[in-house]
Structure 1
Amino acid sequence: MNNKALVLWFLEEACRDVRLAGGKGASLANMTAQGLPVPPGFVIPAYVLEQAVDAGQLRELALAQNAEGAQAFVRQSHPPHHIIKSCYERVGGKVAVRSSACAEDSETASYAGQQETYLNVAGGDEVCLRVVDCWASFFSERALFYRARKGSLADLGMAVVVQKMLDPLKSGVIFTADPVSRRRDRMIIEAVFGLGEQVVSGTVTPDHYVVDRAGNIKREHIVDKRVLEPEEIRQIVELGRKLEEHFGKPQDIEWGIENGNVYLLQSRPVTTL
């Protein structure tokens, strides 16, 4: 185990393995390998958590659903600070630090919202702190309850994604099939000005666009000032089609537009189809 890499970059083939990089990390690595526009970053693989603590003791706490004890135990861990800081410095600036559970975002066990995301993290020490926070979130009462229902309490599979932050003018999500009507010939785009986390968290009401697979608008609801121009919609739809084709099933995709360019931030299967 000691010969295993403590960090995997999105460009590395091993980072595409969901067992190592978790759902988010593997998805980002897959998109990067396809030459799609993904902000750069790296993953601290799932096994690093097991190296940083006494895995047997942590597993016992998890099996007992002792959230407080498990989280306190994780917070005493020793992540590979030097390597994480060095990799962070290569990315530079502000980053997002996100949990990436190894069962995450599969159709049968969507962990969406079960773990933590930290935005605008700056500095190597702060990144290391947030890595431990992500590990601890895997052992919250809510997360343990969820895994107990799935029969996976013994699972310690938590990777962490560190990715360069965008400063987006616009951002949002696209579903490459309508998750409500289940129509495969329709895509749903939701968009806001600024960070798309507002859409995901539901704190802001987004513009809502129903489009066909060519990107033609069939129906729209504009909240205030129109967020997306028709050409931007077509670009987002084209990227959505590419991702759906690559992954072989409809996708729920987070995107952002910075300096006129569309970037992909996350992609997972639509779980309601």
Structure 2
Amino acid sequence: MTDAPLLLAFDDDRCRDVDLAGGKGASLAAMTHNGLPVPPGFVITSAAFTAAVDGDALLAHLRAEDLDAARKVVAETEPPKDLIKQFYDRLPAGDVAVRSSACAEDSADASYAGQQETYLFVPTLEEVYGRVVECWLSFFSERALFYRLHKGKLDDIFMAVVVQHMIDSTKAGVMFTVDPVNGRRDRVVIEAARGVGENVVSGEVTPDYYTLDRKGTVKKSRIVDERILSDDELAQLVKLGLQLADLNGAPQDIEWAFDGTGLYMLQSRPVTTV
């Protein structure tokens, strides 16, 4: 991967390569390519990490199961700051999200969702540099290494990082294009909360819960307080969700958000429970 690009914008066709952009990055690039509403961003590729890190030392520490020494190598690794600044300056003004994107992530037999770090509302370029290293470090936590030992390979050091314009969402959540509990493929399940979707994903709030048919008609709902999503918003979500499932050839687990300008798709991965 010596000639591989170190950074790629979502609209670069090469960004759809999971080996370079990781699961999240490639998914965002694919959604961008297919005209779905995705906040702009770029990926610091797996090649950037392997080019910057002392790979021999890192692998030696991992094989010796010396996690502290391995993490020290990663912590002292400098991201490609000049290139990051170039891509960062092209984004709309405002905060960004910095998200880990493992290259083995979200495959059909190993979902790495939640294994690595995500940082929201990162306000400055200098902080972005630090968060990139924190994302790299998260790939070498005890939890992540234990998971990889059982699901993948311990010497897999390929990880990308996504930097994306932050949507200041008024409502957000997750959508499953199949019922994840009973596997019904004629149902779409949507969970919604006010604010950012991380509130739903992390379980910090109790979301509204909607079960719909594939035409977007509500079949069942559980509203916590005042209803969060209108019928039109639910129909929009179902339409885009089924489009994503069709494009990917499999049921999808999707993160979404509405801000003052409309609906955005933030992530899409295969549903691994059906």
TM-score by length of 2: 0.97
Contact 1:65–1:141 at 8 Å: present in 2 too? no
AA of the residue aligned to 1:157: F
Task: Identify if the C-alpha distance between structure 1 residues 265 and 205 changes in structure 2 by more than 3 Å, giving closer, same or farther.
Answer: same
Report how many residues are paired.
273
- For 1:223 and 1:229, locate their aligned partners in 2 and report how far apart those are by CA, in whole Å: 14
Structure 1 stretches lacking a partner, 5+ long: none
Aligned pairs for 1:104-123 within 5 A: 104-123=105-124
- Residue in 2 that maps onto 1:170: 171
Deviation at 1:66? 2.5
More displaced 10-residue stretch of structure 1: 68-77 or 232-241: 68-77
1:33 aligned onto 2:9: no
Q: Per-residue deviation at 1:129?
A: 0.6
Quote the Cα distance in structure 1 between the aligned partners of 2:2 and 2:149: 30
Taking only aligned residues, the RMSD between alpha carbons, in angstroms, comes to 1.0
Match of 1:23 in 2: 23
TM-score, scaled relative to structure 1: 0.98
Whether contact under 8 Å (2:5, 2:47) holds in the other structure is: no
Change (3 A) 1:144 1:128: same
Question: Paired residue for 1:255?
Answer: 256
Matched, 1:4 2:4: yes
Amino acid at match of 2:70: A
> Could you give the per-residue CA deviations for residues 60-105 of structure 1, whole angstroms, max 9, x where no partner exists?
2222332222111111112111111221121131000000000101
Cα contact 1:95–1:119 (8 A) shared by 2: yes
1:65–1:145 contact (8 Å) kept in structure 2: no
Secondary structure of 2:258's aligned partner: strand
Partner of 2:119, secondary structure, is strand
- The one-letter code sitting in structure 2 at the alignment partner of 1:35 is G
Deviations 1:99-139 (A, max 9, x none): 00001011201001100000001211111110010001000
Map 1:1-273; keep pairs closer than 5 Å. Answer: 3-91=3-91, 92-273=93-274
Q: Which moved more, 1:120-129 or 1:231-240?
A: 120-129
Once residues 164 and 261 of structure 2 are traced to their aligned partners in structure 1, the CA distance between those partners, rounded to angstroms, is: 20
Unaligned stretches of 5+ in structure 2? none
- Inter-partner Cα distance in structure 2 for 1:139 and 1:19: 18
